[in-house]
């Protein structure tokens, strides 16, 4: 039978359950889950004994083809989503970043054009609001109508994307009115400019000074302020790319007070540390990102934050720049190094090995932080983010015994280095399904071109309009 696929004998793992079962996929959806399903005539059957079936990964923080710091991020929606699929991720949410004074609706149309005809897995968009005024306020309900139900404010990148507290409060209350979730890049932009100017004036221009200009103090301050402003507005808040205990403490305190604050961390903050900035001179530019990598000692606190539910998601903040062609733009001054790293293809595998295999996360927690929680927070659930009858058959089948090593040689990212070069992996995806179609096999893309669809996302919660 056409469009029917039977996955037999896998351990089926969701954010809440683990059980051995057969899963029948028909016309892109999960049609049945049962102890034993008899093979239907004509259906493709996959023997999944000894394998683990998870909901396909949901990465809610990518920047494909982003014009940023005088260049454009190297992975576009084709290479970025191919890498995602090969690494077990079946849905992404990217950021539209409009220019000041421009229309956010036009910017959404522009980003949709970038993705259409390129993306190979399903995708949605957040809108960065780089200013707040009557025009932006009037556009918010229209964006929500288009299924764009989350907004991001930058409390850093002064002179470019940064908004002040008054504008941020405006965004929070407008988003709340229409049932959208606001997220923040939490670093104090003024503190960063102050430090950058001081370092440059002292002739400290190398990439090793990037973390000095982006201290945890500045992240903790902005996280605290963002949370208190959200409290005043009575709005929920999501903190992106949380990197250190200074901000985790603020999230914990807020959640213990009962505030609706959610937070994401990234594989780089769980697994890489600031010692990389002091190795091999300019090579450190490979890891220049904001916030920067932090002390190794803080990493276990982030893992614990995930386990304890204070951090709900792991996304990548994938924003890739070629080392030889793009990172070198900052040879004269670290402030000019395009910020970001490639990671969308590595996230699931790193979390599986260093989370599940090394005992830091249970398998259900792995499903929760890589797929279910982000899908729930950003209006994709229950179509995405779980394995249940009626849901999209966005699935990833892991072989828990298969071994590998992260390397630029095998990476599908469109750049000349891997941020995680040499990391050993145990447990790899052998099959990725997007809406029932096999899109990756043994880490290689086998799907059709441009098959990804724009996802109109649901609103965050009850709303006033
Ligand atoms: O360094 C980073 N994080 N680059 C991407 C833009 C952002 O701040 O998320
Ligand atoms: Zn950011
Ligand atoms: Zn980002």
The CATH number assigned to the domain holding 325 equals: 3.20.20.140
- Write b or e for each residue in 178-189: b if 16 or more Cβ atoms lie within 10 A of its Cβ, otherwise e: bbbbbbbbbbbb
Q: Is residue 409 part of a domain?
A: no
Tell whether 45 is covered by a domain: no
* 3 pLDDT above the threshold of 90: no
Q: Tell whether ligand 1 has an atom less than 6 A from the beta carbon of residue 289.
A: yes
Using the predicted structure, report yes or no on whether residue 32 has a pLDDT greater than 90.
yes
- Which whole number is the average pLDDT over 165-191? 98
- Helix residue spans in 42-133 (DSSP H): 77-86, 104-115
Flag whether pLDDT at 465 surpasses 70.
Answer: no
* Separation of alpha carbons 202 and 196, rounded Å: 10
What is the rounded distance in angstroms from the CA atom of residue 431 to the CA atom of residue 6?
Answer: 13
In-domain check, residue 197: yes
Q: Please check the confidence at residue 462 and state whether its pLDDT lies above 60.
A: no
Range of the domain at 289: 56-382
Contact 419, 268 (CB under 8 A): yes
Global pTM? 0.98
Domain count, the chain: 1
Output the residue whose Cα is nearest ligand 1's atom 3: 290
Q: What is the pLDDT of residue 300?
A: 98
Distance 240 CA to ligand 2 centre (A): 7
406: tokens are 């992260």
Those residues with Cβ within 8 angstroms of residue 430's Cβ, 6 or more apart along the chain or in another chain:
51, 397, 398, 399, 402, 441, 442
Measure 319 CA to ligand 3 centroid, in angstroms. Answer: 7
Confidence check: pLDDT of 118 > 50: yes
Residue 42 lies in a domain: no
Contact indicator for 288, 334 with CB cutoff of 8 Å: yes
Residue 398 lies in a domain: no
Cα–Cα distance list, 384 to 41, 251, 329 (Å) = 28, 26, 39
DSSP, collapsed to helix, strand or coil, labels residue 294 as coil
Q: Look at residue 1 in the predicted model and tell me its pLDDT.
A: 47
180 lines ligand 1 (CB under 6 A): no
Query: Would 356 be classed as within a structural domain?
Result: yes
Residue 41's pLDDT band (cuts 50, 70, 90): confident
Q: Are 53 and 7 in contact (CB under 8 A)?
A: yes
CA distance 326 to 339: 10
Q: For residues 461 and 53, which has the higher predicted lDDT (pLDDT)?
A: 53
Cα(267)–Cα(94) distance, integer angstroms: 17
Q: Specify the pLDDT at position 87.
A: 98
Cα 380 off chain centre by: 14
Average pLDDT rounded to a whole number, residues 269-276: 98
Distance 157 CA to ligand 2 centre (A): 9
Helices 216-233 and 189-201 meet at what angle, rounded to 10?
Answer: 160
Going from the Cα of 44 to the center of ligand 3, the distance in angstroms, rounded, reads: 39
The dihedral formed by the CA atoms of 345, 351, 357 and 360, expressed in degrees to the nearest 10 = 170
Q: What three-state secondary structure class fits 89?
A: strand
Cis peptide before 32 (omega within 30 of 0): no
360-416 confidence digits (pLDDT tens): 999 999 999 999 999 999 999 999 999 999 999 999 999 999 999 999 999 999 999
Q: Is residue 421 part of a domain?
A: no
**Amino acid 463: pLDDT:** 53
Instruction: Quote the CA–CA distance of 310 and 365 in Å, as a whole number.
Output: 12
Asked, for residue 28, whether it belongs to a domain, the answer is no
56 lines ligand 1 (CB under 6 A): no
Nearest CA to ligand 1 atom 7: 290
Q: Specify the higher pLDDT residue, 279 or 152.
A: 152
Predicted local distance difference test score (pLDDT) of residue 43: 87
């Amino acid at each position: 039978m056409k469009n029917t696929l039977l996955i037999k004998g896998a351990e089926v793992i969701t954010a809440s359950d683990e059980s051995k079962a057969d899963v029948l996929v028909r016309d892109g959806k999960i049609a049945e889950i049962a102890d034993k399903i008899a093979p239907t005539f004509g259906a493709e059957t996959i023997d999944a004994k000894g394998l683990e079936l998870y909901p396909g990964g949901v990465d809610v923080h990518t920047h494909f083809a982003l014009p940023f710091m005088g260049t454009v991020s190297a992975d576009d929606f084709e290479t970025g989503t191919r890498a995602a699929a090969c690494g077990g991720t079946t849905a992404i949410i990217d950021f539209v970043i409009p220019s000041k004074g421009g229309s956010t609706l036009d910017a959404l149309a522009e980003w949709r054009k970038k993705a259409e005809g390129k993306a190979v897995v399903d995708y949605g968009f957040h809108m960065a609001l780089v200013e707040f005024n009557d025009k932006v306020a009037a556009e918010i309900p229209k964006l929500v109508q288009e299924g764009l139900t989350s907004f991001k404010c930058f409390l850093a990148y002064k002179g470019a994307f940064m908004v002040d507290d008054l504008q941020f409060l405006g965004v929070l209350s407008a988003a709340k009115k229409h049932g959208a979730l606001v997220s923040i890049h939490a670093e104090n932009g003024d503190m960063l400019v102050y430090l950058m100017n001081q370092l440059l004036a002292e002739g400290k221009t190398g990439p090793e000074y990037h973390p000095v200009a982006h201290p945890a103090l500045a992240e903790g301050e902005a996280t605290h302020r963002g949370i208190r402003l959200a409290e005043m507005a009575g709005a929920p808040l999501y903190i992106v790319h949380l990197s250190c205990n200074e901000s985790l403490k603020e999230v914990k305190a807020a959640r213990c007070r009962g505030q609706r604050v959610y937070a994401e961390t990234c594989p780089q903050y769980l697994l890489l540390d600031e010692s990389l900035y002091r190795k091999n001179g300019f090579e450190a530019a490979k890891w220049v990102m904001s916030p920067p990598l932090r002390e190794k000692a803080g990493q276990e606190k982030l893992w614990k934050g995930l386990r304890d539910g204070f951090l709900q998601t792991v996304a990548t903040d994938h924003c890739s720049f070629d080392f030889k062609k793009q990172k070198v733009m900052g040879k004269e001054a670290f402030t000019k190094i395009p910020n970001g790293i490639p990671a969308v293809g590595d996230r699931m595998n790193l979390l599986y090995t260093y989370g599940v295999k090394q005992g830091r996360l249970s398998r259900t927690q792995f499903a929760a932080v890589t797929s279910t929680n982000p899908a729930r927070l950003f209006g994709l659930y229950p179509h995405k983010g779980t394995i249940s009858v009626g849901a999209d058959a966005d699935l990833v089948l892991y072989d828990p015994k298969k071994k590998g090593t992260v390397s630029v040689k095998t990476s599908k990212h469109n750049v000349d280095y891997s941020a995680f070069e040499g990391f050993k992996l145990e447990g790899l995806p052998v099959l990725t399904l997007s809406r029932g179609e096999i899109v990756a096999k043994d880490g290689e893309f086998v799907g059709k071109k441009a098959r990804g669809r724009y996802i109109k996302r649901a609103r965050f919660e009850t709303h006033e309009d």
